[in-house]
Structure 1
Amino acid sequence: AASEGTQQVVFAVLATSVTLIATFVPISLLEGQVGRLFSEFGLILAAAVVISTFVALTLCPMMASRILQRSKSISPAEREEANPDASTHLPETVMSRGYNALLKRALDAPVVVIALAIVFSLGGVVLYDTLPRELAPREDRGVAFIPMTAPQGSTANYTDSQARIIERDLLPFQEDGSIETVYSIVGWGNRPYRGFVVMRLAHWDNREASQGELVRQMRPITRRLIGARAGVASPAGLGLRGSSTPLRIVVGGPDFEEVKQAAAELLRYAESNDNLINPGMDYEENQPQIDLKLDRRRADDLGVSVEEIAFTLQSMFASKKVSSYIDRGREYPVIIQAQKKDRRDINSLENVFVRALDPDSGARKLVPLSVFVSATENAAAAQLRRFDRLPSITISAGLSPDYTLGEAVAFMEQGAESILPSSIKMSYSGQSKVFKSASSGVLLSFSFALLIVFLVLAAQFESFVSPLVIVLSVPLAVAGAIYSLTLMGISLNVYSQIGIILLIGLMAKNGILIVEFANQLRSTGKTVREAVLEASILRLRPIVMTVISTILGATPLVLASGAGAESRVAIGWVIVGGLIMALILTLFLTPLLYNLMAGLSKPPHSQALETQD
């Protein structure tokens, strides 16, 4: 019995294993920071499937032959009388009898079943657009912080006074034990008007409120702060930097003047959104500067060259090496420069003279430098940055606790379409760049995994019909995962997307069990309807058992708590919800599709017999 049972399921086990491996491998091929996180994950799962396949085909049959007790023997006559059409006798149960009756009705009403499956899948498509999107779920890491921005030009003492106001308002949280320590960093980023208040929360077991709940309770503190802009933020998942400003939009263009105007308009648009905390840009014209303008026509009339004026300005106000001398075997440079009192302000230009040509006498005389050069005080940016070799300005902002990165990026993209001219290019950096690349990378991996699974099954079944029947059940699993995410209020992040990719292999496994055994029965001469009915009923118990075991295995992820629980909960609910919601429809849709499409191909065994004849 163990030998015959193993021979009967060996193809299904191999097909299932190869399908799972084909699903896990694309996960390890993801690029960027997300790829580095999940590369080991995919390879370890693939290796585990290989080992479990070997155990299932070797150790499990041996243990079954030794441990299972011999059942009551049934004579061929009794077996024929009990079920004349079945090659394998199994005791009927209430579940199998009920499933048999419902399956016959489903096969007689294909339009109803297909319509239900389509409506179920389209519902998932509609809900997919409503799901909040973010790079990673906000995990309870036991720490929160408040980035603070005072008016430009504020001193460090003023910024410190605003930080002390926040620290005073946080005292109730320290008294009830929610916060252990609070400390502030003033002059953050070498800017005296920037501050950073860090709150280290109590251990998870010693506080009732989660980090997200505490952050929501702290929001009124920042709203009451009048002397500075502030907002409460949480550290990012995946070990990414830039938690205080996850939204980073890079505005690039042909020149800084045009980029500055476009970035200023986009910044005003960002400031209109209350869910964006402390929006700002890295282009700040707060560096004192003196602009010099040369009157070239007057200099030409007086016979003074531009080179002479430039040489004089450099020599007197900057410095100029004009010679060198040697003393005791060492060479020293000779540098000329005006004294500090003679280069203190703009009026110092009147005390510097150059030789000019007198138009009346033709003689040269000394003329103040201010005759040719006019000076104006101005302010400029301390640094001019480039991104992708273009002059660029980065707009950054934090996010409120209930506002996701996907919503923020979509908001800025909508504003950029109406604000930015065609000559201006918008791109992303920091967490926003990782979010955009991860979203497209996971979608590509999902499509790649689905294609590989289809091709692998086509090679194993030597037909395109059977793999198509199996793969068409995947949309039901994805829709079920989206329903579960919506019901549980979980965002669509990199963890839930990885769970959706895993569903491809998990759902294909159920279809393989039905389709492969139905092909075996067809090779014995049964019709398509008879084969799919018997295969579905005989494979009902294995399918339900594997689904239940998978759900039980993912249950600890759903019930996870503590540090990093949000990430595990996202994967767990995708697997549990996708399998539960899609199982019922799959048990009817896969047999129905096989009954409709299997007639287009012949099982391999029958083809081999025709060749021999």
Structure 2
Amino acid sequence: RWHRLLAALYRMTLERWHGFYNRSLAFFLHRRMDLVVLLMAVMGVTYGYLMRQIEFAPNQEEDRTSFKIGVEMPREAVFEDTASYFVEVEKVMEQKKVELDLSGYMAMHFSRGGNIEGWLNKEVDHALTATEMAEKVMKDLPKRAGVKLRTGRESETEEATGKTVHVVHLEGDDAAILDQVAEDLEPMVEALPGVIGIRSGRERGANELALVVDRDRSESINVNPQFVAGVVGNALRGQTLPRFHYEGREIPVRIRFEEADRERLSELSNFQVPTRDGRLVPVSSVTDVKMLKSPKGINRRNKRISRSLTVDLDPKQATEAKAAIIGLTRQMRLPEGVQFGTSLNDLSTNETIVNLQFAAILSVLFIYLLMGFLFESFVLPLSIILTIPLAGVGVVWIHWLTGKDLDVLGFVGSILLIGVVVNNGIVLVDYINQLRQQGLSRTDALLKAADRRFRPILMTALTTIIGMVPLTISQPTEMGLSYKSFGLTLIGGMTTATVLTLLIVPIFYTFFDDLRRWVEERLAQWLRPSATESDLQVRSSKLPSA
């Protein structure tokens, strides 16, 4: 019963396709140029238009399983202010957990900032992406004067990647100037359409009370600024003296002013500083009291101080937003010594693409040389090499139809596809050559080989395609690694390569076979006169002399 059911199913599907394919091949064998024109049209639409609609992205935005929001408190805030703010944050996140169907969230804070992280429930098909959820949560978080909400947090060791992320790099020699330029740039970037927000960097440092030496006054009074630094340093930190040895013990000794003499700024300002001519003047006569912003750390890149802004973009307007940010940076006038640097993400992505393209070219070259050795011809394998761009047609179309970007794993799948799709062409061309050696004409050999090899080629392709389906529909890993582009690449490439190989390879086999014959005839014509002349010379030398 099952055998009859499967046989009926085969007759209704694959057998009909088999018959249609044989009729199509017989038709185009007599109208080869018509097929060439159709193929050029498909290639033009695919590689000339659709391929430009697909972007190369390190990862898939819609497969992100979490979002992060950074909170920056004002510099004058204390730990208690941050703690009270995050109590209100937790109340909002409890509501958002139910509203957005999150599997959980985490809110943690330090002295002047903190992070909020939410995890998407994998069992639910969410209407919003992780980026859109973060934007929605940010709108409902409590608003306080001086509090800045960021769309995540920058990593100090690795630059953010993705289609919806753009990184602006500033390079210079003064950390304070870079911070000021970054602060001036932030509101201009956030005002651009398509920008969701800017990620926070390291924790803000506290404001520092500083005694800044006025060099003009110190020069007029004849005071060395190093003496001022020494007096203030000794007053606050003291000075370590050599260890005191007593009854076999070493006792550390430190000398400094009493706390009552150094606990107020007014008392510190009255400390006496020696001048070069032997007089004593108060510290206040050569210094000014200022509140300075202190950076928590300094990043260096290419031996220069670096400051970065990581901007999160709306997935629907990512391309336009990136163009707007680039246009804004080109129009800005930067202080002397400050310039915009190249994003490490862009450099890494370009390098990755170049390396993968080089690997693909080497794969094609090695496969071609191997087929030339096996077929004892470097012309006929060209008809098999055509299956590679045919597979590319399926890769482009399936990514365009599903709205997915081509990521790194998808590119790796394309290289893997090069070695897989040529197998069908090798099987077909090898059988064609066997039939021609048995005495069949070229047309009969093509039709018979296509008829006999239809089922093996189709079954080989179907097993690969069906095997990729579970991987394609699987959920991304906990780290957000998705195999969708990899699976789609193999499914789309194998589908078009198989369907078109059964038709394109036999047709182009005839073109390259005609080319091979033409080359052989021209070589024979070129070598034949030389052979005739040499025969005449040999015969004339054998004639008896008169």
TM-score range, shorter chain: 0.7 to 0.9
Say which of 52, 59, 66 aligns to 1:136.
Answer: 59
Look up the match of 2:95.
169
Deviation at 1:260, TM superposition (A): 4.0
- C-alpha deviation, 1:284, in angstroms: 5.2
Match of 1:495 among 409, 414, 422: 409
Is 1:457 the counterpart of 2:376 in the alignment? Answer: no
Alignment of 1:323-362 (within 5 A): 323-344=242-263, 346-356=265-275
Q: Give 1:215 shift.
A: 7.4
* Rounded Cα–Cα distance in structure 1 between residues aligned with 2:175 and 2:133: 42
Residue 37 of structure 2 is matched in structure 1 by: 115
The correspondence for 1:379, drawn from 290, 293, 314, is 293
- Does residue 1:567 correspond to 2:482, yes or no? yes
The CA distance in 1 between the partners of 2:486 and 2:397, in whole Å, is 14
- Does residue 432 of structure 2 align to residue 511 of structure 1? no
CA–CA separation in structure 2 for the residues paired with 1:573 and 1:320: 70
User: Residue 21 of structure 1 aligns with which residue?
Assistant: none
Number of aligned residue pairs: give it: 488
Contact kept, 8 Å, 2:170 with 2:178, in 1: the verdict is yes
Q: How does 1:440-589 map to 2 (within 5 A)?
A: 440-523=354-437, 529=443, 531-560=445-474, 567-589=482-504
* Change over 3 Å in CA distance of 1:260–1:471 after alignment to 2: farther
Deviations 1:271-313 (A, max 9, x none): 22544334344595754251522436754764x5455444333
Distance 1:482 1:351, change over 3 A: same
In structure 1, the residue matched to 2:71 is: 149
Q: Following the alignment from structure 2 to structure 1, what is the Cα–Cα distance between the partners of residues 129 and 214? A: 62
- CA drift at 1:163: 0.8
Q: 2:339 corresponds to which residue?
A: 424
Go from structure 1 to structure 2 and tell me whether the alpha carbon gap of 1:265 and 1:468 turns closer, same or farther (over 3 Å shift).
farther
1:274–1:594 distance in 2 versus 1, CA, 3 Å = same
Tell me, in whole angstroms, the C-alpha distance in 2 between the residues paired with 1:309 and 1:231: 41
Q: Could you tell me whether the CA contact under 8 Å between 2:72 and 2:200 is conserved in 1? A: no
Is the contact made by 2:50 and 2:400 (CA closer than 8 Å) also made in structure 1? Answer: yes
Following superposition of structure 1 onto structure 2, how do residues 39-188 of structure 1 map, counting pairs within 5 Å? 98-125=20-47, 126-137=49-60, 144-153=66-75, 154=77, 155-170=81-96, 172-173=98-99, 178-179=101-102, 181-187=104-110
Cα separation, 1, equivalents of 2:464 and 2:496: 14
The answer to whether 1:295 aligns with 2:211 is no
Contact 2:97/2:103 (CA < 8 Å) preserved in 1? Answer: no
Task: Establish whether residue 320 from structure 1 lines up as the match of residue 239 from structure 2.
Answer: yes
In structure 2, what is the Cα distance between the partners aligned to 1:357 and 1:535? 104
8 Å CA contact retained: 1:149, 1:194: yes
2-structure distance, mates of 1:297, 1:557: 74
Does the 8 Å CA contact 1:133/1:492 hold for their aligned counterparts? yes
- Equivalent residue of 1:194, what SS? strand
Does the C-alpha gap of structure 1 residues 592 and 555 become closer, same or farther in structure 2, counting only changes over 3 Å? same
Q: Shift of the alpha carbon at 1:392? A: 0.5
Query: For 1:484-531, what per-residue CA distance to the aligned partner results, in whole angstroms no more than 9, with x for missing partners?
Result: 122122232233323322321222112212222333344456665554
- Compare 591-600 and 245-254 and name the one that shifted more: 245-254
What's the offset of the Cα at 1:412?
Answer: 5.4
The one-letter code of the counterpart of 2:339 is I
The aligned residue for residue 138 of structure 2 is 222
Paired amino acid for 1:99: Y
Counterpart residue number, 1:3: none
Which one-letter code corresponds to 1:290 in the other structure? A
Whether contact under 8 Å (2:67, 2:131) holds in the other structure is no
Q: What is the rounded CA distance, in whole Å, between the counterparts of 2:398 and 2:311 in structure 1?
A: 31
Q: Is the 8 A contact 2:97 2:105 kept in 1?
A: no
Normalised to the residue count of structure 1, the TM-score between the two structures is 0.66
Q: How far is the alpha carbon of 1:336 from its aligned partner?
A: 3.3
Q: Secondary structure at the match of 2:305?
A: strand
In structure 2, the CA distance between the partners of 1:446 and 1:342, relative to structure 1 (3 Å rule), is: farther
Q: CA deviation at 1:479?
A: 1.7
Query: How far apart, CA to CA, are the structure 1 residues paired with 2:454 and 2:308?
Result: 58
- Check the 8 A contact 1:159/1:195 in 2, yes or no: no
Contact kept in structure 1, 2:178 and 2:338, CA below 8 Å? no
Contact 1:316 1:337 in 2 (8 A): yes
Fraction of identical pairs, as percent: 21
> 1:474 Cα shift?
1.1
User: Aligned pair in 2 of structure 1 residues 557, 408: CA closer, same or farther (>3 Å)?
Assistant: farther
1:195 to 88, 107, 115: 115
**Shift in CA distance, 463/344, structure 1 to aligned 2, threshold 3 Å:** farther
What letter is aligned with 1:557? L
Taking the aligned partners of 1:231 and 1:310, their CA distance within structure 2 comes to: 39
CA shift, 1:567, in A, is: 3.0
User: What 5-or-longer segments of structure 1 have no aligned partner?
Assistant: 1-92, 359-363, 603-613
Would the alpha carbon gap of residues 460 and 443 (structure 1) be closer, same or farther in structure 2, given more than 3 Å must change? Answer: same
Distance 2:392 2:434 in 1: 29
Measure, in 1, the Cα distance between the counterparts of 2:177 and 2:382.
Answer: 54
Amino acid across the alignment from 1:379: K
Paired position in structure 1 for 2:508: 593
- Kindly state the Cα deviation for residue 391 of structure 1 after the two structures are TM-superposed: 0.7
Shift of 1:408: 7.5
Pairwise CA distance, 1:166: 1.8
Q: How big is the shift at 1:230?
A: 5.2
Q: Cα 1:325–1:218, aligned 2, differ >3 Å: closer, same or farther?
A: closer
For 1:130-169, what per-residue CA distance to the aligned partner results, in whole angstroms no more than 9, with x for missing partners? 225432335778x644414254344213431441342243
* 8 Å CA contact 2:151, 2:196 repeated in 1: no
Judge conservation of contact 1:288–1:377 (CA < 8 Å) in 2: yes
Distance in 2 between the 1:592 and 1:418 partners? 56
Greater mean deviation of Cα atoms: 103-112 or 383-392: 103-112
Quote the residue 1:70 is aligned against: none
User: CA separation in 1, counterparts of 2:149 and 2:267?
Assistant: 44
Give the root-mean-square deviation of aligned CA atoms: 4.3
CA contact (8 A) 1:485 1:491 kept: yes
Q: Aligned with 1:476: secondary structure?
A: helix
Contact 2:194 2:317 in 1 (8 A): no
Distance change in 2, residues 1:220/1:306 (3 Å): closer
What displacement does 1:381 show?
1.6
Mean Cα deviation higher: 552-561 or 540-549: 552-561
Q: Is the 8 A contact 2:97 2:104 kept in 1?
A: no
8 Å CA contact retained: 2:62, 2:129: no
Q: Give SS of 1:464's match.
A: coil
Give the alignment of 1:199-214 within 5 angstroms: 199=119, 201=121, 204=123, 208-210=124-126, 212=128
Distance in structure 2 (CA, Å) of the matches to 1:275 and 1:407: 10
Q: Is the 8 A contact 1:555 1:572 kept in 2?
A: yes
**What residue identity is the alignment partner of 1:109?**
R
Given the superposition, is the C-alpha separation of residues 497 and 474 from structure 1 closer, same or farther in structure 2, using an over 3 Å criterion? same
Residues of 1 paired with 2:470 and 2:276: CA distance? 92
